[in-house]
A and B are shown apart, each in its own frame.
Chain A
């Protein structure tokens, strides 16, 4: 595999940066892959625009930022509007369907996957703070860029006190991802 780029966008407080960090930790520490995680955010603690990126490569990653993402995860309307144009042709777009609508022409061949991550976290896990982990589970099955076993292992290691909620969120995200994949056909 050559260079593979993932961009995650949303608002501060959604766990956008953490989501990319957990992905990076799993890829790097568990799967032994070469990757870099970066982020950009404004001076606000919550509510401002937040963006986080992961670049994966066979060899050491040179340029650490995303150029044209293979995958774009949009978790807010503002992030969708700002970054949708950079998405690669035939790329993957994953949206939180309750927060983001497709309201512009997409680059050619883009596949859209709708995941109600916030709703699942809120109603089914019972903890909105796990939205990012739900999305991570969906991302793993849709892109196959990281193993779900690896993610489970990392989530257990990382949050021993909140293991149960996060593992549940991950499972539900995986299920939602499988459903979205089936719908795409």
Chain B
């Protein structure tokens, strides 16, 4: 399809991004503020020859997505915090069985039912630590309608490349705001697919990784036979209670993400070159911060921003490097402080100042300007 231009909301940009990335299966259950993704997929999937299924709940939705992915389809679901809470057990299964899929969480006010129509960033730690066990996850944090598209394409590419669930973590404001979206010509998009086995079926070991720590993935129903289980398994996929099998598997599952962190993490530097003060931010608060930085720069204060487009794996090297260049770091989050703790850990001796706001509106630019004044004096 040639280039298209729309004035549309982040949720719809996300759905279009998924379709452009080759997503052909959506299993979900509607929930504010992610419902528009499901609605758009229900309309568009039949047009592209894909399947849209609405399930009885989020548990069925995510497990269907796992199954769809095993047949070779690029598959996704979209929900909000309460839905992710229900999906967590199956997300662990997807990690353990190395199933490529994308989970979109349009974050709303929590805990529990919270404020459905208001945004928040309360689920950042949930995305990383929600399921039990020791694992890594990839989570991308778009801050605009265009990025909802771009990062959803990227989420599918990363899921396919590393055989892992990938989160899109967007707040309600990004999900529901409307801006211009340019959907590139399909030939201009870089689309990745999972590695298929190259060996004959009788030699196939379904969980034997290549040098990049990722095993080629056979498709369910092909001539390759395999067994995928949530139990700790060896290279053949057979369950094992041996200590070395557990250590090898869990180490590899973690390292396939951590050793590739440089390839996964994307950041934006804004007016940082000569900055004494840095704001570290993601999602909607980063847009308040941009306004605040321009205003503070007009007053002659040297301040800039490191915007995280990826929060998991956490960009610890970039934070350590930033901390060595600036005198203060300010972290505005639409929560009680989640990424803040990681920034603090990796900033070492550089003071890190939290601006916590567990509410629907991001920090007002003026509030961030005030904080900049406070730390610069």
| Shortest CB distance A128–B (Å) | 25
Q: Enumerate B169-194 residues with CB–CB distance to A below 8 Å.
A: 173, 176-180
Known interface pairs A24-B7, A25-B7; A37-B291 also in contact (CB < 8 Å): no
Contacts of A41 in B (CB 8 A): 117
A37, B176: Cα distance in complex, Å: 9
How many A-B residue contacts, CB cutoff 8 Å? Answer: 57
Contacts of A147 in B (CB 8 A): none
In the complex, B315 has a CB within 8 A of chain A: no
Residue in B5, B7, B288 with the greatest tally of chain A CB atoms within 10 Å: B7
Instruction: Say whether chain A's binding surface is mostly helix, strand, loop, or mixed.
Output: mixed
| Shortest CB distance A101–B (Å) | 29
Interface pair B117/A43, CB less than 8 Å apart: yes
Interface pair A43/B116, CB less than 8 Å apart: yes
Chain A residue nearest in CB terms to B32 = A43
Select B365's contact among A21, A38, A67, beta carbons within 8 Å.
Answer: A67
Contacts of A36 in B (CB 8 A): 177-179
Interface pair B287/A63, CB less than 8 Å apart: yes
Contacts of A28 in B (CB 8 A): 7, 179-180
| Shortest CB distance A30–B (Å) | 10
Known interface pairs A36-B178, A36-B179, A62-B287; A42-B365 also in contact (CB < 8 Å): no
| Shortest CB distance A21–B (Å) | 6
Select A21's contact among B118, B178, B364, beta carbons within 8 Å.
Answer: B178
Residue in B32, B179, B287, B366 with the greatest tally of chain A CB atoms within 10 Å: B179
Interface pair B173/A62, CB less than 8 Å apart: no
Contacts of A65 in B (CB 8 A): 173, 361-362
| Shortest CB distance B309–A (Å) | 16
Interface pair A37/B180, CB less than 8 Å apart: no
Known interface pairs A25-B7, A62-B290; A37-B117 also in contact (CB < 8 Å): no
Interface pair B5/A29, CB less than 8 Å apart: yes
In the complex, A39 has a CB within 8 A of chain B: yes
Contact with B along A22-55 (1 / 0, CB 8 A): 0011001100001111111111000000000000
| Shortest CB distance A64–B (Å) | 5
Contacts of A37 in B (CB 8 A): 7, 177-179
Contacts of A67 in B (CB 8 A): 364-366
| Shortest CB distance A68–B (Å) | 10
Interface size on A, residues (CB 8 A): 21
Contact with B along A60-79 (1 / 0, CB 8 A): 01111101000000000000
Contacts of A61 in B (CB 8 A): 179
Interface pair B116/A29, CB less than 8 Å apart: no
Chain A residue nearest in CB terms to B288 = A63
In the complex, B294 has a CB within 8 A of chain A: yes
A35, B366: Cα distance in complex, Å: 21
Chain B residue nearest in CB terms to A59 = B294
Q: Enumerate B13-60 residues with CB–CB distance to A below 8 Å.
A: 32
A29, B179: Cα distance in complex, Å: 10
Chain A residue nearest in CB terms to B292 = A63
Contacts of B288 in A (CB 8 A): 62-63
Contacts of A63 in B (CB 8 A): 287-288, 290-291, 362, 365
| Shortest CB distance A12–B (Å) | 11
Residue in A21, A39, A62 with the greatest tally of chain B CB atoms within 10 Å: A62
Closest 9 A-B residue pairs measured CB to CB? A62-B290, A63-B291, A37-B178, A62-B291, A28-B7, A25-B7, A28-B180, A38-B177, A63-B288
Which residues from chain A sit less than 8 Å from chain B, CB to CB? Answer: 21, 24-25, 28-29, 34-43, 61-65, 67
Ordered by A's residue number, 19 sampled pairs between the chains whose C-beta atoms are within 8 Å are A21-B178, A28-B7, A28-B179, A29-B180, A36-B179, A37-B7, A40-B118, A42-B117, A62-B288, A62-B294, A62-B365, A63-B290, A63-B291, A63-B365, A64-B173, A64-B177, A67-B364, A67-B365, A67-B366
A-B contact sample (10 more), CB < 8 A, given A62-B290, A63-B287, A64-B177: A37-B177, A37-B178, A37-B179, A38-B176, A38-B177, A40-B360, A62-B288, A64-B173, A64-B287, A65-B173
